[in-house]
């Protein structure tokens, strides 16, 4: 099996303790030499300043290529583009451009009267504003707001036509789900790279809640397996095995890039990467 190129998603820390945890996470995962790491933008735009700070600090201190998530929620076009310009001024021109989810408690996405109304509008705005490398989200299990699977794929195509260079997918449980989606994208004429998003399951109940909210289908065999693993206190072993198996099937099916949702907990991601043959590479300066 050829080792895949990997990338990692982090979220911005909201406390001093969380800052240390993020830094520990970076220390554990950086030796695996990801092609980039990304920093999320809190639902409803809630972590705007924290994301900006985390992106700038990671760029300055980690030595890793950083991508900043950016959403359209609760901001005017000028404010959103201002944040993108701040990222660029800090040296970060890779953006993961998303429409975003509304803040907790709101039922659906409502665009700001002077804001970008969709991810496509945001991508177009970024394209006009400067030299950004734009990645976008994609949904192998079909986004809950898409009218059907076809609309889900057509909308992704529009995002590439607007200027995106790569899609990172929402997490899913079975390789077949990704292959079906990839085939549908190919059939629709999409030839840009689509990188599977991988969630190593640190917390089963949390993963179930998250899956329900974003439309990820949970197969019965996974529910049964976690029920038994919880009973016997071996969730981490199961999570590592399920995740490594999923990645291995994806790689066997031709996938060569994987994007890990780390949740700022590095252990499972590290173990899965090791199982896939992605192992620490020493910088020459550390060998001499
Ligand atoms: P889009 O692709 O724009 O829309 C999703 C679906 O809805 C489309 O497939 C389409 O069928 C339909 N749709 C939407 N708008 C239209 C329209 N105008 N016309 C027709 N159909 C439409 N959320 C955050 O808040 N912060 C983050 O940092 C963050 N990071 C993420 C990273 C990744 C890799 C992914 C996959 C998701 C992330 N999300 C994040 C979640 C994301 O914001 C939500 O899934 C949101 O509901 C959709 O955003 P999007 O830009 O991917 O959706």
Give the 3-state secondary structure of residue 111: coil
The yes-or-no verdict on residue 286 having pLDDT over 60 is no
Residues 119, 123: Cα–Cα separation, whole Å: 6
Q: Tell me the two tokens of residue 204.
A: 């089963």
φ, ψ dihedrals at 143, nearest 5°: -65, 140
Give the 3-state secondary structure of residue 65: coil
Mean pLDDT of 30-45: 92
Q: Tell me the two tokens of residue 229.
A: 């693993």
Examine the residue annotation and report whether 128 is marked as an active-site residue of this protein. Answer: no
pLDDT band at 287 (very low <50, low <70, confident <90, very high): low
Ligand 1 in reach of 69 Cβ (< 6 A):
yes
Among 50, 143, 148, say which to mutate for ligand 1: greatest number of ligand atoms within 8 Å of CB.
143
The yes-or-no verdict on residue 29 having pLDDT over 90 is yes
The whole-number pLDDT of residue 100 equals: 93
How much of the chain exceeds pLDDT 70, in percent?
A: 97
The whole-number pLDDT of residue 46 equals: 72
The whole-number pLDDT of residue 192 equals: 98
The whole-number pLDDT of residue 48 equals: 85
- Tens of pLDDT, residue by residue over 218-254, are 999 999 999 999 999 999 999 999 999 999 999 999 9
Among 37, 38, 100, say which to mutate for ligand 1: greatest number of ligand atoms within 8 Å of CB.
100
φ, ψ dihedrals at 134, nearest 5°: -110, 120
Q: In Å, how far from its chain's centre is CA 19?
A: 20
Ligand 1 in reach of 101 Cβ (< 6 A):
yes
Q: Give distance in angstroms: CA of 282 to centre of ligand 1.
A: 37
- Tens of pLDDT, residue by residue over 109-145, are 888 999 999 999 999 999 999 899 999 999 999 999 9
The whole-number pLDDT of residue 110 equals: 86
Q: What mean pLDDT value characterizes the chain?
A: 95
Q: What residues pair up with 7 in beta bridges, in sequence order?
A: 36, 259
Neighbours of 76 (CB within 10 A): 14
């Amino acid at each position: 099996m050829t080792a895949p190129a990997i990338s990692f998603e982090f979220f911005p820390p909201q406390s001093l303790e969380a800052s240390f945890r993020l830094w520990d996470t970076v220390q554990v995962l950086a030796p695996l030499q990801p092609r980039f790491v990304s920093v999320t933008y809190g639902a409803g735009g809630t972590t705007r300043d924290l994301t900006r700070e985390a992106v700038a600090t990671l760029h300055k201190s980690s030595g890793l290529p950083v991508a900043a998530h950016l959403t359209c929620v609760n901001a005017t076009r000028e404010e959103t583009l201002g944040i993108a310009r701040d990222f660029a001024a800090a040296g970060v021109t890779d953006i993961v451009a998303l429409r975003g989810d509304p803040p907790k408690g709101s039922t659906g996405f409502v665009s700001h009267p002077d804001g970008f109304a969709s991810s496509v509008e945001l991508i177009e705005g970024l394209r006009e504003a400067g030299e950004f490398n734009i990645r976008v989200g994609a949904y192998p299990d079909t986004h809950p707001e898409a009218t059907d699977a076809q609309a889900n794929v057509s909308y992704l195509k529009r995002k590439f036509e607007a200027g995106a260079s790569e899609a990172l997918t929402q997490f899913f449980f079975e390789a077949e789900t990704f292959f079906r989606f990839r085939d549908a994208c190919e059939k629709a004429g999409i030839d840009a790279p689509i990188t599977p998003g991988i969630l190593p399951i640190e917390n089963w109940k949390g993963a179930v809640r998250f899956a329900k909210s974003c439309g990820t289908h949970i197969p019965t065999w996974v529910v049964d397996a976690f029920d038994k693993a919880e009973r016997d206190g071996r969730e981490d072993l199961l999570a590592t095995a399920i995740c490594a198996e999923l990645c291995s099937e994806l790689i066997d099916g031709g996938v060569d890039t994987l994007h890990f949702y780390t949740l700022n907990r590095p252990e499972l991601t590290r173990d899965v990467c090791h199982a896939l043959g992605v192992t620490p590479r020493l910088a020459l300066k550390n060998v001499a």
